[in-house]
Structure formats: C-alpha cells, structure tokens
C-alpha cells in the first residue's frame, strides 16, 4: 500500500512538472501564471466572468474559469486567500463590504474607487478601471403606480419587499425610512429572496415596491417601473475587475490594458441583454458571452 501511494505521488509530481514545463513552452510572447476567474453565483456575474475569461483566453492568456460559487464575501475572501486571481464586482457593493462607514458620496464612482482601491492594495489586489456598465439598486413599483420618484412614495403607505440584506443597509431600507433621507412610512415589510420572486410578489400585489437590480430583465417584461433615486441614496454600481497584484505584475502591462479596454466596451444595455438571454431564454452563460465577444470582434486574433 505504501509503495503504491509513493509511486502515485512520484507520478503526480512528474505529471505536474511536465504540465508546468509544457505550459511554459506553449505560450507565445507573454508568459505568466494561470489567471483563475470565478463568477458569483447568479447569472449576470457568471456571464461577466465568462466574457472576461474568454476574452483573455482569446488574447493568449492562460485562463481558467472556475465554477461559480458564493457571493461578494466569498469572492473577496477567495481573492485574498489566493483561491482566485480575478473577480469582477460591483463597486458600490464593494464599498459596503470593505468600508461601510466611509463618509463619501456613494453615488460617485471615482470616490468609491479612491476608497476601496487602497483597501484591496493592502491585501495584494488591484482594482482596475471601472466599466460604464452599471447594475445598480432599483426601487421598483408596478406600472400603474402614481409615483415618479422614490420621494413620491413617502405618503402612499406602500408595502415594501426586499431581500434580508436590504434591511440592515443605510443605502437601502434604513435610508428609505430615515426621515433625513426619504422618510418613507411603509405600511408593512416582507422579506423576499432576491430574484424572480420579487417580481411575482409585486405583480400579485403582495407588495407595492421592491428593491431589485436595474438590469433585472423581468422589470421591462412585466411592465414595472424603476423610480428615480432623487435623493441620490443608491451607490454607484459600475462593474470593475479586481485582480491579484502578483498576477498582474507577472503578465506585465499588457494585461492591465487588455482588461481596461474590455471594461470600457461593456454597457448597461449589454448586461440587460445578457440577463434576458440567460434568465428568460434560459441560454448558457458561456454561449451568451461567446456570441457577444464575436459580435464585438474580440475573439478574432
């Protein structure tokens, strides 16, 4: 038994050595470690991870797209513990997670980057340029609501529905009810799992307003409206790649430029379109990502 395990180990080490050596030989001009990308466990994040992964792969980078898992907490932890090298996250959410008490204007994307950048830098990760694509918080009502802005809801006695996380966040429920911000008096609140159930509850009249994300495809399809955030409560939620500094340095400045170029190309409309394809047409994220990259001519070398 001992001999077998020993032999196995030797074989595995040998195989690993061959793989490493082979990998080094195959690459053309650029060389560096495998870039491990992992999306968070919801379809938009999965598609985004596929877009960045396939894009980098087509440019000759050694990429491994891991099975999506967890949410922001797990993503940041994995990045810090060297389990992944690249995550793409929403900067407003990053701000809430990393510096919830920073007294900055959370609607200002540059201010957010200036705050979360150093926090990641200290942990060995670099926040790259943020994309114009935004998936922000949306205060959603039925199409027949008389409100145009969130302030209009104050006197309507609405029933409010949102995921559990909303009820402890100053940019969410606490801000809506804070007399110094919106001062809304909801007649009741319901905790609903984040996702399509929010739309079902709204359509059924169980609740009159829900907090969803702006790119939820059901909003347009089910005839809901997103109210204007007239008090500027919602943080800016542009997407931005956050990459291990060591990996970034190993590959050189080309990687940074490549990622920044891609981020600049993605728009909010792209996010909505991807979500319609994955959530309503039930297509696979990797196919959706490949098609988009092909249309933009980003897969051709």
Partner 1 sequence: MIALPIAQAAVPRGIGLLEWLGDLDTWLGPDGILSSGLDTVTLCAAVMGTGILLALPPAALLAHLRRGELTATALVTLGRAVPTFAVAALLVPVALRRGWGFEPWPIFLALLLLALPPLYLNTYTAIRHVDQGTVDAARAMGFGERSILFRVEFALAISVVFTGIRVAAVQVVATEPIRAFLGGDGLGRYVRDGLGQNNETLIIGGALLIAALAATTSLVVTLLERVTVPHGVRRLRLQTASRRGSIG
Q: Which residues bind partner 1 (CB under 8 A)?
A: 73, 163-165, 167-168, 173-174, 177-178, 185-187, 189-193, 196-197, 200-201, 203-206
Instruction: Write out the two tokens for 290.
Output: 């490949």
Taking the least distance from each CB to partner 1, the nearer of 41 and 129 is: 41
User: Could you tell me which residues are beta bridge partners of residue 86?
Assistant: 37, 243
Nearest-angstrom CA–CA distance, 179 and 296: 47
Nearer to partner 1, 66 or 197 (CB): 197
In the complex, the smallest distance separating the C-beta of residue 263 from partner 1, rounded to whole angstroms, is: 28
The Cα 136–Cα 171 span in angstroms is: 11
Minimum distance of partner 1 from residue 290's CB (angstroms):
31
Min. distance of Cβ 178 from partner 1 in angstroms? Answer: 8
Rounded Cα–Cα distance for residues 208 and 155 (Å): 13
Q: Which is nearer to partner 1, 174 or 246 (CB)?
A: 174
State how far the Cα of 86 lies from the Cα of 157, in Å rounded to an integer: 44
Of 85 and 94, CB closest to partner 1: 94
| Helix, strand, or coil (residue 38) | strand
**Closest CB to partner 1 among residues 47, 96:** 96
The distance of closest approach from Cβ of residue 203 to partner 1 in the complex, given in angstroms and rounded to an integer, is: 7
| Distance in Å, CB of 195 to partner 1, minimum | 11
Residue 155 CB partners (closer than 8 Å, separation 6+): 185
Q: What is the number of alpha carbons within 13 Å of residue 5 lying toward its C-beta?
A: 2
DSSP string, 82-143: TS-SEEEEEHHHHHHHH-TT--S-TT-HHHHHHHHHHHHHHTTEEE-PPPS-B--EEEEEET
Task: Provide, rounded to whole angstroms, the least separation between the CB of residue 135 and partner 1.
Answer: 19
The least CB distance from residue 67 to partner 1, in Å, is 21
φ, ψ dihedrals at 146, nearest 5°? -85, -5
Straight-line distance from the first to the last Cα atom of the chain, in angstroms, rounded to the nearest whole number: 50
Q: Which is nearer to partner 1, 29 or 193 (CB)?
A: 193
Q: 197 or 299: whose CB is closer to partner 1? A: 197
């Amino acid at each position: 038994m001992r001999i077998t395990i020993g032999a196995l180990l030797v074989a595995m080490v040998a195989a690993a050595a061959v793989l490493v050596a082979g990998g080094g030989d195959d690459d053309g001009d650029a060389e560096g470690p495998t870039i491990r990308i992992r999306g968070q466990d919801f379809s938009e994040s999965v598609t985004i991870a596929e877009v960045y992964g396939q894009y980098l792969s087509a440019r000759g980078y050694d990429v491994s797209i891991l099975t999506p898992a967890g949410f922001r907490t797990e993503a940041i932890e994995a990045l810090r513990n060297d389990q992944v090298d690249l995550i793409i996250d929403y900067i407003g959410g990053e701000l809430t997670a990393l510096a919830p008490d920073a007294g900055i204007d959370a609607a200002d994307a540059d201010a957010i980057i200036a705050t979360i950048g150093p926090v990641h830098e200290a942990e060995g990760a670099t926040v790259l340029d943020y994309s114009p694509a935004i998936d922000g918080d949306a205060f959603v009502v039925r199409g027949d609501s008389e409100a145009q802005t969130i302030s209009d809801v104050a006197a309507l006695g609405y029933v409010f529905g949102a995921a559990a996380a909303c009820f402890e966040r100053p940019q969410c429920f606490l801000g809506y009810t804070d007399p110094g911000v919106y001062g809304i008096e909801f007649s009741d609140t319901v905790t609903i799992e984040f996702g399509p159930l929010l739309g079902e509850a709204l359509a059924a009249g169980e609740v009159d307003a829900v907090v969803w994300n702006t790119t939820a495809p059901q909003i347009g399809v089910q005839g809901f409206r997103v109210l204007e955030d007239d008090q500027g409560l919602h943080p800016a939620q542009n997407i931005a790649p956050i990459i291990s500094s060591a990996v970034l340095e190993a590959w050189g400045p080309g990687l940074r430029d490549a990622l920044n170029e891609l981020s600049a190309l993605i728009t909010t409309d792209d996010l909505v379109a991807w979500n319609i394809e994955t959530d309503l047409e039930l297509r696979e994220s990797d196919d959706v990502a490949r098609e988009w990259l092909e249309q933009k001519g980003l897969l051709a070398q």
